[in-house]
Chains A and B, each alone.
Chain A
Amino acid sequence: MRLSPQKTGIILILPAVLLICSLLVYPVVYGIWLSFFKKHSFFPDQKFAGLANYLYLMRDPDFWMSVWYGTVYSVSTIVLQIVIGIIAALILNEAFRGRNFVRGVVLFPYMIPTVVAIILWKWLLNNQFGLVNYLLLAIGVVENPVSWMGKDHIMTSLIIISVWEFFPFVVLSVLARLQTIPLDLYEAAKVDGASAWSRFIHVTLPQLRNVLFVVILLRSIWMFTKFDTVWLLTQGGGAEKYIRTLPVYAYMRTFMYYQAGLGATLAVIMFGILIVSTMIYFRMFRREEEI
């Protein structure tokens, strides 16, 4: 028996499509449906609630705080990652001895489990025995140990840890693109007497445009929906309120207050915010280039 190429093609892709539809697309759709119900996370009972979940959140100060913390967190980490990532990529694009080794090591933070990144930094930032406080005290930057996990500094700690963990992604993408920029572009700019800075602005940056478009898009989506880094840092510090971003709030509603309906509503709101901002982003920056 011989199958037509048409049929063979469809049969081969079918398992993938079925899995994606049933385990990724369907849950999202089911989540939208759930957001119109009052639903307990464990028990099967559910009551239709119309827009009650959405209306509740609009009047919920904790929700607005989580929007605020989520925005502070994602905007600051994205900006820092991109800037530090580009600078690091430019350095690693230069010729120096041991370059490949440094390139490899710089990617480490991105590869390790988030749990490890968190316990590592909790140890470094420990207020009594942490190395960071020891060094800060030793060189006299501060007079008393900084309480990194306390309410005043926990957002800063979270941002430092996140930027450390995720900037290698930017390095990776930008470095790959840098290596393909034709050298004669720089030679021509040099002949024209352009300074290093103006070569960066007028030669490098335009060439990076496309890769940065994608990197900023992906990083924004992933930072805005980042759960594990934030959640794990909130454990056992007492200051969890001060970094309760939207994903953490959705998780808490579902798994600590057992309000799956409300949790689903929060996930839908996140999804909505992402889709709208992605569309605006595409409108503003997308030219005719392909991704």
Chain B
Amino acid sequence: MKSKNAFLSLRGQVIYWSAAILLVAAAFPFFWMVSTSFKPLREIFVSPPYFFPKDFTLANFDRLFEQTRFLIYFKNSLFVSSSAVVLTMTIASLGAYSLTRFKFYGREKIASLILFTYMFAPIMIVIPFYVLIRKIGIANTHFALIMAYTAFCLPFSLWLLRAFFQSIPMVLEEAALTDGAGRIRAVIYVILPLALPGIIATGIFTFILAWNDYIFVRILITSDELKTLSVGIADLYNATVIDWGMIMAGGMLITVPVLVFFVFIQRYLIAGWGTGTIKG
């Protein structure tokens, strides 16, 4: 299959070109965003357009930080997403451990319930959710958002972690238990280290989901100072005459944390673990 010729076979050339097209299709829009965000205003609207900024500038970022509440949105996003991750991971790890290590009445029913709710899409819940949240009186709080994300991420987190815990042999903790360790010690010293990669990867999925969410924030949050990035940027876009340079700078900054995390979990993704797991 692999020819070592200096000239690639026809098949090899076809593969190279198609891979190149794929790469450009996936990455070029990002490149264009980054490039635009470093251009001064007059270069943004010039025709023919420049691919790289000629007069590299940070003015777009300055405007973003000084004239908008971008940093507040950023802080809110960080707080809400991290809280949702901590809560989801705690509850889901306990649940997944229970589902894989204990036999009890209704266990299979719970597993099917989880799979069923995994299919729920936000739009099917948000309307009654909103009415309920207003009734309880916690609309327009970060707490409501965190609960929404936790509930929404639980099904797939449980499903993923269950698969992950199943792959950890039961023999290991049985050995620890017969050695006289209590169950809690056995879990902390034997199971947790083995499960940690899975928990981290699942946590990152949850983080990305909460970080990227638009609809829950749109519906649950009304005060500007409580908004997270997605809604903040969307409103910035809709506000006045569009400042493309500033918007692109904002878009780039929102994307960075996601991509950093993405690099972490990429090997899990490529290895096929967690296929079909993240929502969207």
Contact = CB atoms under 8 A, between A and B. Distances in A.
Given A13-B95, A120-B251, A176-B271, A129 B128 contact: no
A198 interface: no
Nearest to B131: A260
A157 interface: no
B130 A28 contact: no
Q: How large is the interface on A (under 10, 10 to 19, 20 to 34, 35 or more residues)?
A: 35 or more
B36 A123 contact: yes
Given A23-B148, A169-B280, A221-B121, A112 B237 contact: no
Interface in B192-236: 208, 211-212, 214-215, 219, 229-230, 233-234
Contacts of B29: 109, 120-121, 124, 164
B188 interface: no
A20 B113 contact: yes
Interface in A210-258: 211, 214-215, 218, 221-222, 225-228, 231-232, 235-236, 247, 250-251, 254-255
28 contacts: A6-B102, A11-B98, A17-B95, A20-B155, A23-B147, A39-B131, A92-B22, A96-B12, A104-B263, A111-B259, A112-B255, A113-B214, A113-B230, A115-B230, A116-B255, A120-B33, A123-B247, A124-B32, A129-B244, A164-B26, A169-B280, A176-B270, A180-B272, A211-B275, A228-B214, A228-B215, A232-B234, A251-B126
A114 B215 CA distance: 11
B275 A176 contact: yes
Interface string B85-115: 0000001101101110111110100100110
Nearest to B239: A236
Given A12-B102, A13-B98, A104-B266, A114 B230 contact: yes
A30 B132 contact: yes
A172 interface: yes
Interface of B: 1-2, 12, 15-16, 18-19, 22-23, 25-27, 29-30, 32-33, 36, 44-45, 47-49, 91-92, 94-95, 97-99, 101-105, 107, 110, 113-114, 117, 119-132, 134-135, 147-148, 150-152, 154-155, 158, 183, 208, 211-212, 214-215, 219, 229-230, 233-234, 237-238, 244, 247-248, 251, 254-255, 258-259, 262-263, 266, 269-272, 275-276, 278-280
Contacts of B278: 169
B123 A114 contact: no
Given A15-B91, A91-B19, A105-B27, 10 more contacts: A16-B158, A20-B113, A96-B16, A106-B26, A112-B259, A115-B214, A123-B33, A124-B29, A134-B49, A164-B25
Majority SS at the chain B contact face: helix
Interface string A86-125: 0110011011101110111111111111111001111110
A262 to B, nearest CB: 10
Most buried by A among B18, B97, B269, B278: B269
Nearest to B263: A104
A6 B101 CA distance: 10
Contact of A172 (B16, B151, B275): B275
Nearest to A262: B127
A272 B113 CA distance: 18
A146 B47 CA distance: 16
A11 B175 CA distance: 24
A69 interface: no
B219 A19 contact: no
A116 B254 contact: yes
Contacts of B36: 123
Contacts of B122: 225, 227
Contacts of A254: 127, 130
Contact of A31 (B32, B119, B125, B151): B125
B234 A235 contact: yes
